Each structure stands twice: as C-alpha cells, then as structure tokens.
Amino acid sequence: MHRNSVPTSFIEEQDFLDAAMARRDSLTAHLRAELELDAADAVELGRQRMLRRQYEELRRAGEGLVFGRLDATDGSTLHIGRIGLHSDDEPLLVDWRAPAARPFYTATAVEPQGQKRRRHIRTTGSVVVGVDDEPLSATPGHDGDLGLVGEGALLAALDQRRTGHMTTAISTLQREQDDIVRADATGPLIVQGGPGTGKTVVALHRVAYLLFTYRQMADRAVLVLGPSPRFLDYIGQVLPALGETAVVAATCDTLLPGVTVERAESRTAAEIKGRALWQGILERRVAALTPGPRELKMRWDGDFHVIPATAVAQALTSATQGRSYHRARAVFAEQLHQLLADAIAEQRETLMEEMERGYEDILSRIADTSTGASRSDVDGLLSEEELEELRERIADNATIARFVESLWPTLDPGTLLREILVDTELLATELTPAEVATVTAEPAPWASSDIPLLDALAELLGERDGEQPRPQGEFTADRARGQRDWVYGHVVVDEAQELSEMQWRMALRRCPSRSVTAVGDIDQAEAAHRHTSWAQAVRAVLGDRWTAAELTICYRTPSEVMELTGPVLALAGSHNTPPRAVRSSGVLPWQLAVTAADLPGVAAQAVQELQQRWEGGTVGVIAPASRIPELRAVLGDVPLMTATQSKGLEWDATLLIDADGISAEPRGHNGLYVALTRCTQELGRLTVS
C-alpha cells in the first residue's frame, strides 16, 4: 500500500515501532557481545547472569513490542509496550507493568485519569496492522456499552482462533483484572472467578508484574501450581513471552522431587487423607520417635563412661528446640560427643589424682627431667587442643556412630509413612473405625493424596547427614525445581478450589511469608473434599488471614452458552451469581440425540464438521470417564477428556457428549458446569438415549 493512502495514525505508529525495534535490536546486539566474553571471577559471572536475563527479555519481546499509547490532557504522550526502553536517557517505551502505564488499563470516560485518548496498536512482527482509538472524554456513551476498557481490541482478540496454547493479554487486560494483577503481595489473596473471567491470565500476568516490581523476588523464583500437566503445557508459553524465566511450574503431584504418583485411589480415601488432621498425626509419630532422657553408658578405649540422665535431658532439650528430627539428631550427636569427651577427660583426671597421692615424688622427677612434656603428661589434664582432637576422634568413630544410630535412628519419609498408614492404633486417635479400615486397605504404591503426607513428613524429619548435594544451575528456577525445601518469593495456585487441606499446607510450606495468589471457581470444584466455599476450603490452613477478590465478567464464553449454566449451578448447590457474559458468538448451542451404538460414529462426524467450521482453530471433546475408551478409538488425536481434565482449557468449539453421564459422576453438576463453559464460539451436545 502506498504511504500516501495509509491513515496518519498508521504512519505515526509505524514510525514509532521502527524506532522501538531499532533500539531493541541495538541493545540486544550489545548484550550479545557482552555475553560472548568469558567471566573472570564470581562477580563477573553474577553480572553475566543478570545480562543474560536482560538479553532473554529483549529477545522475546519482538512480537507485540508496542501495543498501546496514552495521550494526556497536558499534551504528553506515552507509548506502552511489552518491555521498557530508553533512548538517550529518555523513556522511549513504558513497560506495561510500570505505574505510569496503569491508566492504559483503568482510565474510562467517567474517570479519565488525566488522559484524553487511549490507542490500541496491533502489530504483526515489525508491521503495524491495526490502530483503534478510544476517546476518554466525559461524553456519555464513550465508555462502551459493556463497560469494557478498549472494547474493540478486546472483542477482536476474543474472536481470534484458539491455537491450543494460552497467549498473553497485556494489551487487553480489563480494570478488575488489572486491580488483581497489581494488588499487594503481602499475604494470601484468593480470587473467585467463574468460567471465562480470565483467572489464569490474571494469575500469570500477576507473576510478571510481581517479578518486575519486586526484583528480589526473582532471586527466590515464583512457583506456579496447576491442576494437571496438560494445563501446564497449555499455559507454558505465557510467562516466557512476557520475559519471565524465574518461574517453576508444577502440579501438587510433581512438587516433591524424586516421588511420582503410581496409582489411582478412591474418592473416599483421597478425602480422608486430604484432611488437615494428618499434620497432627505425623507430628505425634515423629515426636514419639525422638529418644527420651535416660542415663547412657558408652565405651571408649576399653573403658565404660556414664553420661547422667540430667546431662542427656539438657542435651535433648537444647537439640530439639525448633529443629527437624534429623537436624536435632545431628546437634544432639555433637553434644553427646562433647559429653563423652568430658567424661573421658574427667576420668583421666581422677585416675591421675589417685596416682599422684602415691607417686608425687616420681612424677615430680619426671617433670624435672623430661623435655617438651605437656601438662596432661604430668597432671592428667587435657589441653584444649587435645580435648578437641579427642572430640574429633569420637565423632569419626564407627562404634560411637552405631551407638547414636541405635539411640536415635535416621529415618526415611517413605518407609515411615508406610508404617503410619497401617498403624491402626495411631490412626484411631483421629479417624473412625471405617475410615481406618479404608486407609489401611490402600495398596503400597503412592497415590496422589500420599504426596502431601510425604512432603509433611520430609519437612518434619529434615535432611539426613550425607543427603544428595543441592542441585546446581545457572538459573534460579533450575536450582529451585530440584529442592524440596526451596523457599519461593511467591506462590500462585490455579484451580485452587481443587486443593485438599494437606495440599494447601504443601503449597504454603514453599512460601513461609504466605505471599500467595490463589485463583479458582468454587462452583467448579470436583475434588473429593467436602468444602463448598472458600472460607471452608482454607480455614484449616489460613484461618481468616486472607484477602478475597472477585472477577465478575466472562470474556471467553459466549452469552448463548452462559444462558445454559444457571440451572446447572442451582443443581450443584451454588449460591454464587454466574459471571456476566460480554460477548455473543452468534451461534446457538445445538443438541442431537443418538443411541449408544451410534455414538462413536456420530461423534466422529460431528467433530469433523466442527473442525471444518472452525478451521485454523481448535475443537475439544468432553465426555464421562466411562465413554472415553470407545470415543478415543474413533477420534484419534482430537483433544478428548473428562470434565475434570478439561478444567482451565478452552477451544473454539466444544462437543459435549452425554451430559447426563457427566452429571451422574461424583460432584457431577460441578463437572457439567466446567464442560459447558470451555468453548469460545460454539457448543454442540450429543445426548445418549
């Protein structure tokens, strides 16, 4: 297209994009040259790590580098982008996370915040392909019929075909979303949001915001907990696209290094083992394994030495104060070595005193005629150097080590948990006879509900002497990923309504400061636990010390589909108001009745037709667990899953098979609510007669 025929706004923004891309390319080239130099020392190595983070942020920022502009009433202009850029010490591009960029997400015609216009800029690579201006005057009607910020740009983004992976939304975040993204990170924040409200988008963009705002947080990394590996793959490109790599993504099942889930379990067993009361059971068992105070008789060089019970009691009290089982054991062993060394020295001094009473003259002559004799050679007292040498010999002595092991054995969390899970007497202190029978009947391989119990035991026991060395790596996330006891700067929990009380404890253990963001929809809860409100879900671990936030607008699911959810929510026992849908796809949900025999063939045909209608997008199929095998045989690589597995995912079109069958599953109406709301455009339903 000839430049003269291009709108002025396009020319302005293309010129600016060219300048921003040139500056980015210049900085990238400079950093690349710096990184090619060898690091001379540890300081230089640390500097290169910082430069590499900057380089990766610049490298990933090429697509969508510039996406917005604010024109203020004072005549100033700010361009908003994926990253911040300076030229000649002057700001060229403002990072979307910076305070100066906030009016881009929050200014309205009613509250313009000193702005007269917001401009959304759409780009493909280094080319401007769209410019949408939004006046921010107080003229009625300019705030959008739907009360949205950048309504045109938002609806255009929502109508795009789905690719099977979540993308960033930094150019279209809405005000209620931005409020949560930028909320303080000083305590637990729990965000309730129905389907399509952007819970996951908000959580991930909050991570990017926090890492930008609190630079020290990157030194500890951020943990993102999702409901499934499929979900983590779906969101896996968002944070790297935002330039953030100090992030560890995991599920509750994969959070404990070296431990994997090996079997399924009943919902009854999962509910029982998910209760917070297990923390007390485990603590009591570990405490019972700590030795009590008693007199100890220890042998050294053929002689027995008695350590009084009072001295042992003092050593135990000192060692166990605020320490894990194995750390307390190590401290106690050191103190026991000292007590034994003192006892040996005291016995030697006593023997020498007895000898002195009969042989003072002989010893005196020995002292007069010997050269280089130490005091202990004469009077039996050990010097500090000799006493320290004795302590070291005791600490290295295999016999003494065996004595300590018999007194205070080292423990393996897995072995100990297997013992606890069949200890009917211990379990009966907290569980009913029927519940004890359920737990003790479980097979040996680890199930999902065992992982939080293992984690709790591992924390109570602590590391043993000689444990595997800490994992090393150039990046913080690499080191954090391999350490069970790594302390993160922040933890994000997605689909948090599914966590059991023990899983909550496992998550909070990774962040003692409780800087946590949890997002979810309590009405979509399908897990085995019994809670139906956030207060019930977190009371055992957080009490009342958490902040609530809510997302009320549904951006993804079209209004035609959301109209179907009210009766389902009522059957699920919900007291919440469904989110308000702000868009229509223009496609009414359809329904077709088929026989069980015809179902596989009809499903395959329906999927093919949906794929043709939404070419370039995605189609997903949701069905009861019992129908998955027969459908998989005819659907090939089409995404096919249960309602639980579909949580957090989205497609252009969804084929929902046998809604009655889904409703009949445990917490089935909650599952059906999830299944109905996965599409962005079209919902088809096959009912089985």
Average of pLDDT values for 280-295? 95
Tokens of 304: 């027995």
3-state secondary structure (DSSP) of residue 579: coil
pLDDT digits (tens, 9 = 90+) for 509-539: 999 999 999 999 999 888 888 888 999 999 9
Judge whether 352 lies within some domain: no
Residue 216 has pLDDT above 90, yes or no: no
Residue with tokens 């252009």: 652
The whole domain housing 74 covers: 8-137+150-160
Is the Cβ–Cβ distance between 406 and 398 less than 8 Å? no
**CATH no. for residue 276?**
3.40.50
Q: Are residues 678 and 581 in the same domain?
A: yes
pLDDT digits (tens, 9 = 90+) for 436-452: 999 999 998 999 999 99
Q: What is the C-alpha to C-alpha distance for residues 101 and 109, in angstroms, rounded to an integer?
A: 17
Provide Rg for the chain, Cα atoms: 33
Q: Which amino acid is at 314?
A: Q
Q: Are residues 212 and 262 in the same domain?
A: yes
What integer pLDDT is reported at residue 351 of this predicted model?
A: 76
DSSP helix, strand, coil percent of the chain (3-state; round to 5): 45, 15, 35
Residue 144 has pLDDT above 50, yes or no: no
Is the Cβ–Cβ distance between 58 and 83 less than 8 Å? yes
Residue 403 has pLDDT above 70, yes or no: yes
**Ordered alpha helix ranges (H), 87-226:** 103-106, 151-158, 175-181, 199-213, 217-220
Residue with tokens 């006046």: 135
Residues contacting residue 547 through CB under 8 Å, at least 6 positions apart: 183, 187, 188, 189, 190
User: Of 522, 551, 580, at which residue does a domain stop?
Assistant: 551
Q: Are residues 528 and 643 in the same domain?
A: no
Task: Kindly report the average pLDDT of the chain as a whole number.
Answer: 89
Residue 141 has pLDDT above 50, yes or no: no
Short-list 132, 392, 430, 413, CA closest to 277: 430
Q: Are residues 52 and 93 in the same domain?
A: yes
3-state secondary structure (DSSP) of residue 441: coil
Average of pLDDT values for 278-294? 96
Residue 335 has pLDDT above 80, yes or no: yes
Short-list 540, 458, 460, 461, CA closest to 499: 540
Number of residues in the chain = 689
Q: Are residues 518 and 585 in the same domain?
A: no
Is the Cβ–Cβ distance between 439 and 431 less than 8 Å? yes
Average of pLDDT values for 666-678? 94
Q: Are residues 154 and 222 in the same domain?
A: no
Residue with tokens 């889904």: 662
Judge whether 132 lies within some domain: yes
**CATH no. for residue 645?**
3.40.50.300
Average of pLDDT values for 349-366? 63
The domain tally of the chain equals 3
pLDDT digits (tens, 9 = 90+) for 57-88: 888 888 889 999 999 999 999 999 999 999 88
Judge whether 70 lies within some domain: yes
Tell me which H or E stretch contains 413.
helix 413-420
Judge whether 251 lies within some domain: yes
Give the DSSP per-residue string, 60-75: HTTTTSEEEEEEETTS
Q: Given pLDDT bands bounded at 50, 70 and 90, which one contains residue 267?
A: very high
Q: Are residues 439 and 585 in the same domain?
A: no
Q: Are residues 122 and 42 in the same domain?
A: yes
- Of the given ranges (2-16, 247-261, 361-375, 550-564), which has the lowest mean pLDDT? 361-375
Residue 167 has pLDDT above 90, yes or no: no
Q: What is the C-alpha to C-alpha distance for residues 31 and 50, in angstroms, rounded to an integer?
A: 10
Q: Which residue has the higher pLDDT, 229 or 382?
A: 229
Q: How much is the pTM?
A: 0.84
Residues contacting residue 54 through CB under 8 Å, at least 6 positions apart: 31
Q: Are residues 19 and 156 in the same domain?
A: yes
Largest CA distance in the chain: 119
Average of pLDDT values for 289-297? 94
What integer pLDDT is reported at residue 413 of this predicted model?
A: 96
Judge whether 127 lies within some domain: yes
Average of pLDDT values for 206-220? 90
Judge whether 511 lies within some domain: yes
Q: Which amino acid is at 591?
A: Q
Q: What is the C-alpha to C-alpha distance for residues 56 and 28, in angstroms, rounded to an integer?
A: 9
Q: What does DSSP assign to residue 528?
A: S
Q: Annotated binding site for ATP, which residues?
A: 193-200
Short-list 449, 452, 453, CA closest to 262: 449
Give the DSSP per-residue string, 481-498: HT-TT---SEEEEESGGG
User: Of 494, 524, 551, at which residue does a domain stop?
Assistant: 551
Q: Which residue has the higher pLDDT, 462 or 172?
A: 462
Residue 634 has pLDDT above 60, yes or no: yes
Q: What does DSSP assign to residue 291?
A: P
What integer pLDDT is reported at residue 2 of this predicted model?
A: 56
Q: Are residues 85 and 16 in the same domain?
A: yes
Residue 198 has pLDDT above 80, yes or no: yes
Q: Annotated binding site, which residues?
A: 193-200
What integer pLDDT is reported at residue 364 of this predicted model?
A: 56
Q: Given pLDDT bands bounded at 50, 70 and 90, which one contains residue 359?
A: low
Residue with tokens 């089935």: 668
pLDDT digits (tens, 9 = 90+) for 5-30: 688 999 999 999 999 999 999 999 99
Q: Are residues 196 and 93 in the same domain?
A: no
Percent of the chain with pLDDT over 70: 90
Q: What is the C-alpha to C-alpha distance for residues 250 and 231, in angstroms, rounded to an integer?
A: 10
What integer pLDDT is reported at residue 61 of this predicted model?
A: 86
Average of pLDDT values for 501-511? 97
Judge whether 649 lies within some domain: yes
Judge whether 333 lies within some domain: no
Residues contacting residue 241 through CB under 8 Å, at least 6 positions apart: 60, 63, 167, 168
Residue with tokens 């949906």: 610
Q: Are residues 515 and 568 in the same domain?
A: no
User: Of 551, 567, 588, at which residue does a domain stop?
Assistant: 551
3-state secondary structure (DSSP) of residue 688: strand
How far is C-alpha 546 from the chain's CA centre? 18
What integer pLDDT is reported at residue 4 of this predicted model?
A: 63
How far is C-alpha 247 from the chain's CA centre? 9
Q: What is the C-alpha to C-alpha distance for residues 486 and 246, in angstroms, rounded to an integer?
A: 13
